[in-house]
Amino acid sequence: MQRRTLIKTLTCLGVVSALPFLSATSFAASSHAVSVDDLPELTGELTLYLGRGEGGLYEDVLNAIKKRNPKLKLRIRRGPTAALANSIMAEAKAGVRQADLFWAVDSGTIGQIVGEGLAKELPSDLTSQLQSNFRFSNWAPISGRIRTLPYNPTRVSVDKIPDDIMALPDSDLSIAWAPAYASFQSFITAMRMLEGDKATTQWLKAMNKKAKKYAGELGVVMAVERGEVDLGLANHYYTLRLKSGKPDANLALAFSKNDAGCLVNVSGVLALSENKTASDFIRYLLSKEVQTYLSGEAYEIPLAGQLPPPTGIPSLTDISPPEIDLTKLADIRATLVLMRNAGVL
């Protein structure tokens, strides 16, 4: 069953509102990206906690928003996403709120804040700008990335690559992975949710016997391209970036189906204060211009409106990501324990 079908069905049954994190809204409306020309001017003061990611591209976006809105005084606190989330929760416990907005590089961290009940409801006309399966009442996904199987076509043909991620350890393929990498750990969290801890542990142990370990996922993709291995596990954009810098690179992308292997994870933003300027600020992040910029420069997948994905990957409607509540990817601690017990970390 496709995710959107499931959610529509759940909505009809009144189940969605019972799901603590999903809280989907207005699924019937078609999404559309709004131009910044149609957005209100931002005025007043805002404090944004910005999780590190994508080099300076998020900074470029923020600088452009500041330049366009000279009456906005934007204070930014930067740091690792998880550390900022901890600060937000600690501040809330102490009865102080420093941040109006939190822009995080992964949905799991968003889930932590949402789970604490700290995220404020967003206007439905804002969330309806997002593609239907990325609409949430109290946070807004900004851009997406897909888990992929980059492979070297000079070493292996696509028909030899299983479309079931759980079957990968049983294949004859040589494999590269980066288990210490945060996106990989979110992928394992998704696998735990979908397949259970026992099956995930077995998968990790079997993979650990055959996979070659790399520190980061660009390293994985480069190893595939060099022909050190047949195939790797990595977010989609590393392949697109390498192909951009090296157009003749021996690299192609394969996708598994309906499992954690093709998880679509997102960066996202939430408002911590009920403040019109804060929600209007989010509108800028969902604007056609920002979405196009992040897609063009960072190869991330636009999630507002019907903007095309970066060249080189299929549209989200042509792949079959699993049915996952993205905010539950926050359960990273249990994943790390499981990975350690499996001897992977």
How near is the Cβ of 217 to another protein at its closest, in Å?
A: 8
Please, are residues 74 and 48 in contact by the beta-carbon 8 Å criterion?
yes
Q: Which helix (H) or strand (E) holds 144?
A: strand 140-151
Identify which of 302, 314, 294, 307 has the alpha carbon closest to the alpha carbon of residue 252.
314
Please, are residues 31 and 335 in contact by the beta-carbon 8 Å criterion?
no
Tell me which of 10, 29, 64, 336 binds another protein, using CB under 8 A.
64
Q: Which is nearer to another protein, 169 or 232 (CB)?
A: 232
Window contacting another protein (CB under 8 A); options: 149-157, 256-264, 294-302, 324-332: 294-302
**C-alpha distance from residue 188 to each of 145, 182, 192, 204 (Å):** 15, 10, 6, 9
Q: Which is nearer to another protein, 151 or 203 (CB)?
A: 151
Q: Which is nearer to another protein, 46 or 234 (CB)?
A: 234
Tell me which of 215, 227, 308, 337 binds another protein, using CB under 8 A.
215
Rounded distance between C-alpha atoms, residue 36 and residue 123, angstroms? 17
How near is the Cβ of 213 to another protein at its closest, in Å?
A: 10
Residues contacting another protein: total by CB under 8 A: 41
Contact status: 238 vs another protein (CB under 8 A): yes
Query: Quick one: how far is CA 283 from the chain centroid?
Result: 19
How near is the Cβ of 177 to another protein at its closest, in Å?
A: 14
Contact status: 79 vs another protein (CB under 8 A): yes
Identify which of 206, 212, 146, 213 has the alpha carbon closest to the alpha carbon of residue 181.
213
Kindly give, in sequence order, each residue whose CB lies less than 8 Å from that of residue 309, ignoring residues fewer than 6 positions away.
295, 301, 302, 315, 316
Contact status: 244 vs another protein (CB under 8 A): yes
Contact status: 222 vs another protein (CB under 8 A): yes
Residues in contact with another protein by the rule CB under 8 A? 36, 52-57, 59-61, 63-65, 67-68, 78-80, 180-181, 214-216, 218-219, 222, 226, 237-238, 241-242, 244-246, 249, 289-290, 293, 296-298
